[in-house]
Structure 1
Amino acid sequence: MKKLSVSLVAMLVLFSLLGSLVMADEHGDMAKVRVLHASPDAPAVDVYVNGDLTLEEVPFKTDSGYLEVPAGTHDVEVFAAGTEYAAGEGVLQADLEVEAGKAYTVAAANLLESIEFVVAEDSMEVTEGQAKIRVGHLSPDAPAVDVGIIGGDALFSGAEFPGITDYAEVAPDTYDLEIRLPDGTQVLPLEGTELAADTVYSVFAVNTVDSLEVIALVDYEAAASPDEMPTTGLGTPEQSQSMWLLVGGALFLVAASGLVWRKRFQ
């Protein structure tokens, strides 16, 4: 019986260490990356990271949601959807460096003949009880614009393509906003824009100037736990994989216990 107890304790310790390693691998030294297709005349695209197909048939005005990726430098290449992969032959390629614990938006912007990456670090914090917002000017033929209250003060002034402003904190409320030229001429009304407390937003102006529209994305919600954020993609193990590994460890522990019992009574 003493021999059985020692064996069980040893296996429990091993199982605990296994679980700890899985959790450390899943949450340590990781960054979050969100990809946005903002090139108005580009077709749907496939995105490869370090040579692996990561996002498939992504259409214009679509974002990937946050994906988890190990910290470090990654080779990101964009191809027209369905194109056979060939290293270095994509319509767009860049080495993306990301830091552990940080989040990023990577937008494919501009017209196809001049397509480029626009990269910005996203905020994952906000003052309690406040909302936080920034704007991205990703309309390739639109002039510099202001964003502000209709008939009132500008929240952001002189936003130019291809740029993303700093964040501004505002009281949570529903705002009647507008995109306008510096002389006050309205370009696009954004009435009824609701900004919730404890939430961070990025609002991107996309498409050509004659078809201007916006994409509003949530960067961070204080009420959401980290595990609720999408984490698949970019070659990173899914959360479910760690669960299966833990279950497998538990089954191993049960099986091993049975072997010890049989050996003891044979």
Structure 2
Amino acid sequence: MEKEMQMQKYIAVGCVLALSGGAFANVRVIHGSPDTPAVSVFVDGGNTVGSPVTGSPVIPSLSFRQDSGYLAVPSGDYTFKVTPEADPSLVAIDAFASIDENIPVSVIAIDFLANVRPVILVDNRTTNPSVAQLRLGHFVPDAGAVNILVNGSSFLTDVEFEDVTGYFELAPGFYDIRVVDAVSNAVLQDIPGLELIANTNVSAFALGSVAGETFGVSVFVDAVPAPGTAALLGFAGLAAVRRRR
């Protein structure tokens, strides 16, 4: 049965995420710009948009499709500066945001290098022991609208670039996922036998470029319940999503 798209509103750069102080927030950075080389991420306190990069990067090197894992950052006002790893004097992204300790977020660099910019998503890190929770997003700048089929049936239609769903609650198990062009019905990617595990939240984002033949879906782990698993959150779903062999 076709699901109704539940669009998650991502947070525009420069807006406030219900600021409060005295505690730590969970912030994750994802490199989703297909033609942008490896980057460094600098985080400055306060609104320093337009100022030169100073100090050492919080994330020294992040390549396309990689994420930083969740970083513990004191809640407050920050400017995120993203530069090429090879030349920190060139600032590709210079964005201000206020971070609240109760709102885990992902900062995703999207689009081609000429138009690279961040979007900030609010993540769900509350798991449900009975179901898997899956969020989907379209961040392929040169792909038109896509349709998503699950186990051969229509699941979402006309998903546009920069569309992000809310979290769907799905029964644990194996799923065959197909992404097709909404107009031509050409298959962009098949993901056979993807296993979703109960008590785990993941985000599956379409990244890359159609023209560059790098279109692909990357899966990132948003939450797992077991203690001591925080280190696994930076490995793009390896701990919680498996393909049937």
1:69 alignment counterpart? 73
Let me know the Cα RMSD of the aligned residues. 1.9
Which structure 2 segments of 5+ residues have no match? 1-21, 45-53, 232-245
The structure with the largest strand share of the pair is 2
Name the SS for the 1:167 alignment partner.
strand
1:157 alignment counterpart? 157
Q: Does 1:37 align with 2:31?
A: yes
Answer yes or no: is the 8 Å Cα contact 2:123–2:222 preserved in 1.
yes
Which structure 1 segments of 5+ residues have no match? 1-27, 231-266
Where do 1:105-124 residues align within 5 Å?
Answer: 105-124=106-125
Q: Does 1:212 align with 2:215?
A: yes
**Aligned residue type for 1:79:** T
C-alpha distance in structure 2 between counterparts of 1:158 and 1:29, whole Å: 40
Answer yes or no: is the 8 Å Cα contact 2:34–2:209 preserved in 1.
yes
C-alpha distance in structure 1 between counterparts of 2:101 and 2:158, whole Å: 32
Report the alpha carbon displacement of residue 188 of structure 1 after superposing the two structures with TM. 0.8
Name the SS for the 1:113 alignment partner.
helix
C-alpha distance in structure 2 between counterparts of 1:160 and 1:193, whole Å: 23
Where do 1:179-198 residues align within 5 Å?
Answer: 179-182=179-182, 184-198=185-199
Q: Does 1:60 align with 2:67?
A: no
Answer yes or no: is the 8 Å Cα contact 1:176–1:193 preserved in 2.
yes
Where do 1:111-260 residues align within 5 Å?
Answer: 111-154=112-155, 156-182=156-182, 184-209=185-210, 210-222=213-225, 224-225=226-227, 228-230=229-231
**Structure with larger Rg:** 1
C-alpha distance in structure 2 between counterparts of 1:147 and 1:105, whole Å: 23
**Aligned residue type for 1:171:** A
Answer yes or no: is the 8 Å Cα contact 2:128–2:200 preserved in 1.
no
**Aligned residue type for 2:131:** Q
Report the alpha carbon displacement of residue 147 of structure 1 after superposing the two structures with TM. 2.0
Report the alpha carbon displacement of residue 151 of structure 1 after superposing the two structures with TM. 2.2
Name the SS for the 1:124 alignment partner.
coil
Cα distance change, pair 124–109 in 1 and its aligned pair in 2 (3 A):
same
Amino-acid identity (%): 31
How many pairs align? Answer: 198
CA displacement, residues 59-86 of structure 1 (integer Å, 9 cap, x when unaligned): 111111111111122100011113244x
**If the length of structure 1 is used for normalisation, what is the TM-score?**
0.70
CA displacement, residues 107-127 of structure 1 (integer Å, 9 cap, x when unaligned): 111000000102101101133
